[in-house]
Amino acid sequence: MTDAKRLPWLRLMALKQTDKDVYESVHRAWPSSGGNRAFGGHVYAQSAIAASKTVEDGLVIHNITGHFILGGSVLAPFVYHVRRIGDGRSFSWRTVEVFQGSQPSARPCFVATISFKRYEESKSWIPLEHQAETFEDFTKTYSSILDRTKPEETPLAPGADAPWWYNANNDAWRVTNDMFPGVDIRKVDMSGHNETSRHPTRHPAAGRRQLCFYRLIVDAESRELLNKTTSEILNLHAAAHLYASDRNSLFLIPRAHGLADRIAVLASLSHTVIFHGDPARLKMLDEQGNPIWFVQEAWTSNSGAGRGCHESRLWNYKSGRVVASTIQDGMVRIPRDPGRVPKYYQQAETALQSVSNPSPKL
């Protein structure tokens, strides 16, 4: 996909090295939910890219856990400090601490632990491979939706998947949302599925599902480079999956409980992604360099004590392979008194009205 208005993936994730194993972002993150707060998927994905610059050729990310400690800002660059934990024959491990502005003397805003692996094809070992659900199962489960849904005709994902976003009448913020950079993400209308697929013995929230299609945004300059299958390029593709997996994820939890209009606090605490199988499957372009559609199948498995768990599978919508599994722990607070909610919405709408069209450059 090429869109002159939307920053392509390679430019969005650009880093400059400022010291040994220290990197700084070049382009600002997208403003999440209005105001100057940065989209968490930006620092999550870019930390993986920074770490990948310190490992040997042939190593591709297969596992990452990130902890969100402080909210990030779009007004300052992210600074990534990579620590080399260990290097083996097949694996390498890195941690990344991320700071903003003058923060290096303070605590980081984000910390990640990342593992890289060399792809193995050995005559000595039996190649085990399976996935719990086949693509036939997937398409059958969602046939009532997928039979009438084309990814490219699906609406763009909202800036925030909450009623106050849909009710907001702010042209500037909608323009900003339509410029969501790097990855084209589209939210599927699940109303025809969620209301008819409830399990007789499970909590209604556990049965709710959300599908989101996504594909890479590329331009002519980056298309040829991103169509290679070197480990360096595959790590860039892996990071794009990380980026997409974090979009609007936690909003599913209050929505599954029928309380999307009463959110007071919603924030990521940790996010883990495990990539499966041959790392070449992470590639998001076909042989001609055209973006391939992937689809995130998401649900909430548990909630309690002010937190909620979001899980998902990332499917290649062309091959039917599950390329990754995700699990995210988030803070979710819903006030008992509905009277407390309008104040939060008023603050959110004030933030929306302060948004202008942000420059991608810092």
Give percent of the chain above pLDDT 90: 67
The DSSP line for 195-221 is TT---SSS-HHHH--EEEEEEE---HH
Helix axes 231-245, 40-52, angle to 10 degrees: 160
What's the rounded Cα separation, in Å, for the pair 55 and 156?
36
pLDDT-derived band at 166, boundaries 50, 70, 90: confident
Provide the pLDDT confidence category of residue 259 given band limits of 50, 70 and 90.
Answer: confident
E strand intervals along 2-106? 15-19, 22-25, 59-68, 78-87, 91-100
Q: Which two structure tokens, joined as six digits, stand for 345?
A: 């919405």
Round to whole Å and give the CA distance between 184 and 219: 13
67: amino acid identity, one letter = H
Q: How far apart are CA 146 and CA 188, in angstroms?
A: 9
pLDDT band for position 207 (50/70/90)?
confident
167 Cα distance to chain centroid: 24
Q: What is the mean pLDDT of residues 273-285?
A: 97
| 174 vs 136: CA distance, rounded Å | 37
What is the pLDDT at residue 66?
Answer: 99
Going by C-beta distance under 8 Å and a sequence separation of 6 or more, which residues neighbour residue 285?
Answer: 216, 218, 223, 226, 227, 291, 292
User: How many other C-beta atoms are found inside a 10 Å radius of the C-beta of residue 22?
Assistant: 16
CB 93 within 8 A of CB 71: no
Tens digit of each residue's pLDDT (9 = 90 or more) over 86-135: 999 999 999 999 999 765 557 899 999 999 999 988 778 888 889 999 99
Count of CB atoms within 10 A of residue 318's CB? 11
**Residue 269 binned pLDDT confidence (cut-offs 50, 70, 90):** very high
CB contact at 8 A, 177 and 228: no
pLDDT at residue number 80: 98
Handedness of CA 333, 335, 338, 342 (dihedral sign): negative
**Residue 166 to residues 131, 159, 258, 261, 345, Cα–Cα distance (Å):** 37, 9, 16, 11, 12
Cβ atoms of 170 and 160 closer than 8 Å: no
In the chain, the domains with their CATH numbers are: 9-119+130-353 (2.40.160.210)
Extended strands (E) in 142-264: 183-187, 210-216
pLDDT of residue 356 exceeding 50, the answer is: no
Mean pLDDT, the chain, whole residue set? 88
The pLDDT assigned to 127 comes to 85
Tokens encoding 327: 């699990």
Q: How does DSSP classify residue 47?
A: H
pLDDT in tens, 56-100: 999 999 999 999 999 999 999 999 999 999 999 999 999 999 999
Place of tokens 């548990």: 302
| Per-residue pLDDT at 249 exceeds 80 | yes
Let me know: does 7 contact 181? Beta carbons within 8 Å: yes
**Rounded Cα gap, residues 60 and 51, in angstroms:** 11
Specify the pTM.
0.92
